[in-house]
Amino acid sequence: GGAGGLIRPSRVSTRLPVVRPPAPLSVVLTAFCAQLICLYYHPDRQSADAPAEAVEECVRKFIEIDQAWKILGHEETKKEYDLLRLEDDLRNLGPVDAQVYLEEMSWNEDDHSFSLSCRCGGKYRVSKDEAEEVTLISCDTCSLIVELLHRS
């Protein structure tokens, strides 16, 4: 090994997933676990005498894991996924209290976001980038939700 008993990067590069240095440990562990799970369910790694149903289940899980990693393993697609998930969660909280156009919201130069006062005294906030993608915004104080309408 190298200094302090560490293995030189060139010796482990074929065994570890590709992550850009200096990646936090959590990123490395997530990528490594995803790779291990994919290997476990990979169709080519199944026993030749395994029942067909078990192999089919492994193929199904492998495809699900691969699709999830394609989304969650990349910053842009994960951001899009997170926004969709947030909207789904908000839809499950309750009905939309109001519909507003972005032009009706106030621009905040300090944090580059739009805001709207809620009847509870809180604020509905959305960043400039998110405003193009989200349709539901929750109040930062209560459970009320507004729908952000986009002009065509």
Q: pLDDT at position 101, please? A: 93
pLDDT < 50: residue spans in the chain: 1-16
Q: pLDDT at position 132, please? A: 83
115/42 Cα distance (integer angstroms): 48
Q: pLDDT at position 15, please? A: 44
Q: pLDDT at position 94, please? A: 67
Q: pLDDT at position 3, please? A: 45
Q: pLDDT at position 85, please? A: 80
pTM of full prediction above 0.85: no
Q: pLDDT at position 6, please? A: 44
36: exposed, middle or buried (Cβ count in 10 Å: 0-12, 13-18, 19+): exposed
